[in-house]
Structure formats: C-alpha cells, structure tokens
C-alpha cells in the first residue's frame, strides 16, 4: 500500500510539475532541459562555434537545448556530440555515439568526429541506478564523476568547462575536493528546476589545472 501511495504521490507531483508542462509545450524530451538552461543563462556556458560533448545524453533534452542555442538557419554553428550506452532518438545536427565511452571502439568513433580538435564544454547529467545502500550509491556516483573528470582531462581545452550532476548525500565533499584539485574555479549550482526534495546539485569546473598535452 505504501509503495502505491508513493507512486501516486510521485505521479501527481509529476503531472502538476510546471517544468514537465513546460517541457511538453516547448518540445523537450525531459524537464532536465530547464536545469541546463538555467545554469547556462547564469554562467554563459554555451556559445556559437563550440565543440560540446554530452555524456550519458539519453533521452536527449540537454542535446535539444544545446542544439537550439547553436542554431543558425537550418543548421548549427558548432559541434554537438552525445554519448550513451542506451539508445536515443536522433537529434538534428547532433552526432550520437552509442556505447561505453571507456571502450576503444567508442573512443575511435569520437576521434573521427573530433578530428584532433579539443572540446570546449563537457556536460554530464549521468546518475547511477540507486540501490538504496548509501555507501554503494555514493561509490557509484563518485565512479561516474571520475569517468567524467578523466574524459575532460583527455579531451577538453585547457580553458574549457565541465558540468556534472552530483547529490549532496553521495560523497559530495570528496567530489568537490577532486574538482578543486583539477579546476581553477569550481561553482555549485542548484537550479530551480531541481526538485526541492532532491539532494541533486551540479558542479561546474572551469579551466584545467593539469591539461593533457
């Protein structure tokens, strides 16, 4: 009974969520688009001509928002690359690579798109499947952050930026320390589109301290 009540409460909140309604109206695949929109408007992250990589891009609302920001005429001024293990419906002008970006085959496909160019902005809205066991969930979250950090170190321009999703109750202080060790500036962002009940928070690192050669 309790589970059914929780599901009903969630469904009620979801249906009445202003960001869910806005996503339906604006043609976004998920309300998450407004989290990126708010952070972007605040931090001026997405600019014409950039090379942007979206890690864990499915279902694609961040890619949709990014594409709209780079739109020029019938195309875009810039490059958007999405990577995910899960399949995704195509987004116009976005290069989508399905697979695990730690595997060589996927990295080879990425290299084909980049053609030796470095990335301006790395986005990650990735989150682990939660087990409910706090220590295990924190370790999974930290692992995803480590993957995003490693990706940024390898592929990002020295002055580039990395935006990742974290949770305040999942090893957050250790993750912040890792960011401070790698980036010149680190900011914590809690957009209004993040649900109040959620411990979700975004970390933005700018300017690599130890860029790859």
Report the alpha-carbon distance of residue 137 to residue 145 in Å, rounded: 12
Dihedral sign, Cα of residue 35, residue 11, residue 200, residue 106: negative
User: Measured between alpha carbons, how far is residue 47 from residues 21, 63, 99, 153, 160 in Å?
Assistant: 27, 14, 27, 21, 12
Specify whether the CB–CB gap between 122 and 81 falls below 8 A: no
- Give me the count of residues in the chain: 213
Q: Give the HSE-up count for residue 84: Cα atoms under 13 Å, Cβ half-sphere.
A: 22
Q: Degrees (nearest 5) of the Cα angle 24, 25, 26?
A: 95
Q: For residue 98, what are the β-bridge partners?
A: 84
The continuous run of DSSP H or E covering 3 comes out as helix 2-15
Among residues 37, 69, 165, 178, which one is catalytic?
A: 165
State how far the Cα of 86 lies from the Cα of 107, in Å rounded to an integer: 16
Query: Degrees (nearest 5) of the Cα angle 70, 74, 75?
Result: 40
Q: Would you call 8 a catalytic residue per the annotation?
A: no
Q: Active-site residue numbers?
A: 165
């Amino acid at each position: 009974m309790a589970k059914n009540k929780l599901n009903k409460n969630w469904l009620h909140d979801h249906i009445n969520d202003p960001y869910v309604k806005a996503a339906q109206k604006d043609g976004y695949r998920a309300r998450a688009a407004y989290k990126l929109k708010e952070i972007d408007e605040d931090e001026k992250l997405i600019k014409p001509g950039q090379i942007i990589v979206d890690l864990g891009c499915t279902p694609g609302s961040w890619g949709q928002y990014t594409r709209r920001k780079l739109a020029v005429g019938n195309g875009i001024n810039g490059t958007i690359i999405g990577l995910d293990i899960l399949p995704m419906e195509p987004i116009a002008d976005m290069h989508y690579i399905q697979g695990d970006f730690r595997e060589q085959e996927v990295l080879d496909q990425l290299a084909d798109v980049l053609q030796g160019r470095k990335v301006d902005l790395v986005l990650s809205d990735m989150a682990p499947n939660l087990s409910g066991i706090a220590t295990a969930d924190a370790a999974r979250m930290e692992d995803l952050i480590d993957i995003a950090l490693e990706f940024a170190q390898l592929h990002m321009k020295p002055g580039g930026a990395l935006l990742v999703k974290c949770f305040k109750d999942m090893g957050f202080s250790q993750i912040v320390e890792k960011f401070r060790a790698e980036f010149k500036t680190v900011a914590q962002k809690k957009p209004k589109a993040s649900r109040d009940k959620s411990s979700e928070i975004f970390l933005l690192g700018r300017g690599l301290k130890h860029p790859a050669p």
